[in-house]
Amino acid sequence: MIKKRVLCCSVVLSVMILSKLYSTPNSTSKKDPIRKALLEQVEKQKKAIALSPEKQKEAYYRSVMFANKQVPLHNPSVERKFERYLANFSFRKQQTYDLHKKAAKHLPQIATILKSYGIPEDFKYVPLVESDMNPRITSHKGAGGYWQFMPATARLYGLKVNASVDERKDLIKSTHAAARYLKSLYKEFNDWTLVAAAYNVGGGSLKNTIRRQGTKDYYNLNLNKETGSYVYKLVSMKQVIENPYKHGYKRYAQVKDKYQHSNEANLL
């Protein structure tokens, strides 16, 4: 912050000196070395401020979206939560490329199916967060498969779940079922961020919470720990998959990240 203020002051001072020189007849020549040097210095300082870590962070955070809606990272509480989960998904914490390998293998198929139902592409990250793309995982409550469906919900949306077959473990069939479920939740909530929360906690439970607390803003709702962190996990997962270089996954940064400043190069 101190560095930023010093840079700003330097630019202001340089501009003041420069304007003084402009008003002096003997300094109006384009060949004036003092004027030229000051112009160059002002431009360098402007670029330094524009590309400072603080400015880069501000610009990056303005680009963070979920389901085509900006995440309110200007809110300090939202920013803190986002940074916590973003750090958890970074290469520094994971020390593995498994997330990106699974994403490269499965997400294109999932995205295509979701698109056919009109579901925002960002929901393709749900299976990575829910099951780590492992269909054999079953929760202590009985949720299973890629999308971690409860047996009753899975059957309701067209999947077979019985002693001999469990279609929750079929990526294509379970993704079609998930898309139908997400679409039904959107009819209830008319907000994709709330749809994500409802997918985690259940539509009825979320409706009761909204009614009690008098707000439909996910980021202002007082939710249980798992649901209160759910959207942050999805957003963080999206960031590390779409911006691998920025979050330490340099092996997957063969091209520019979706978000990258002009002074950030993927030097491989």
Cα distance between residue 28 and residue 211, in whole Å: 69
- Environment class of 152 (CB within 10 Å of its CB; exposed 0-12, middle 13-18, buried 19+): exposed
The answer to whether the beta carbons of residues 197 and 229 sit under 8 Å apart is no
- Does residue 92 belong to any structural domain of this protein? yes
pLDDT over 50 (residue 179): yes
CATH value at residue 207: 1.10.530.10
- Does residue 213 belong to any structural domain of this protein? yes
* pLDDT tens track for 78-110: 999 999 999 999 999 998 999 999 999 999 999
* pLDDT tens track for 28-76: 445 677 777 777 766 666 665 556 788 888 889 999 999 999 999 999 9
Q: Could you list the residue range(s) of the whole structural domain that residue 240 is in? A: 71-252
* Res 268: pLDDT: 45
For helices 192-201 and 203-213, the axis angle rounded to 10 degrees is 120
State whether 135 and 185 are in the same domain. Answer: yes
The whole-number average pLDDT for the span 237-260 is 81
The answer to whether the beta carbons of residues 197 and 223 sit under 8 Å apart is yes
The whole-number average pLDDT for the span 153-162 is 97
State whether 148 and 222 are in the same domain. Answer: yes
* Res 32: pLDDT: 74
State whether 130 and 239 are in the same domain. Answer: yes
Q: Report the percent of the chain where pLDDT is more than 70.
A: 78
State whether 26 and 75 are in the same domain. Answer: no
* Res 56: pLDDT: 84
Q: Which of 174, 172, 147, 142 is nearest to 158 (CA)?
A: 174
- Environment class of 156 (CB within 10 Å of its CB; exposed 0-12, middle 13-18, buried 19+): middle
State whether 43 and 158 are in the same domain. Answer: no
The whole-number average pLDDT for the span 118-138 is 97
Identify the residue whose tokens are 């949306």. Answer: 157
More reliable by pLDDT, 228 or 265: 228
State whether 43 and 86 are in the same domain. Answer: no
Q: How many domains does the chain have?
A: 2
Provide the CA 68 distance to its chain's centre, in angstroms. Answer: 11
- Does residue 21 belong to any structural domain of this protein? yes
